[in-house]
């Protein structure tokens, strides 16, 4: 796993759990990605829009190729997201800080995806790229 490789080579990021509420960290991270050259796509079945962008109910509903699936979900809810990430052909799964699921990590790795677990994509971008 190379965090820097993902940040430099993967430009389309589906943010699962992106919130339309500007007080939520997922909203802040989503905006950060948009402002730093990534095509961030919000995924949340309870929202139609996040930060002015069309929000999709699932990864499968996104009409374009996804490089990274950034997961803002509880650890126990990650496996279905990983399965869908595999199905849509994502290159990487990124589980945000506090999201830890070894079984989901093993499943993604076995399917050939890059995996980052328990790290914030925004913090890592600031640290490595700026």
- Looking up residue 119, the CATH number of its domain turns out to be 3.40.50.720
Domain range for 103: 3-128
As a 3-state breakdown, the chain gives helix, strand, coil percent values, each rounded to 5, of: 40, 20, 40
Summarised one tens digit per residue, pLDDT across range 24-56 is 999 999 999 999 999 999 999 999 999 999 999
Determine the pLDDT at residue 1. 52
pTM for the model stands at 0.95
Reply yes or no on whether the pLDDT at 23 is more than 70: yes
What is the rounded CA–CA span in Å between residue 21 and residue 125?
A: 22
């Amino acid at each position: 796993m190379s965090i820097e490789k993902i940040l430099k080579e993967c430009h389309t990021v589906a943010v699962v759990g992106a919130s339309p509420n500007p007080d939520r960290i997922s909203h802040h991270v989503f905006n950060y990605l948009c402002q730093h050259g990534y095509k961030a796509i919000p995924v949340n079945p309870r929202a139609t829009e996040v930060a002015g962008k069309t929000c999709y109910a699932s990864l499968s509903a996104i009409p374009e190729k996804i490089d990274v699936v950034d997961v803002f979900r509880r650890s126990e809810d990650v496996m279905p997201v990983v399965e869908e990430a595999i199905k849509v052909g994502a290159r990487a799964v990124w589980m945000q800080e506090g999201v830890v699921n070894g079984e989901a990590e093993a499943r993604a790795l076995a399917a050939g995806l890059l995996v980052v677990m328990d790290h914030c994509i925004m913090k890592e971008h600031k640290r490595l790229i700026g």
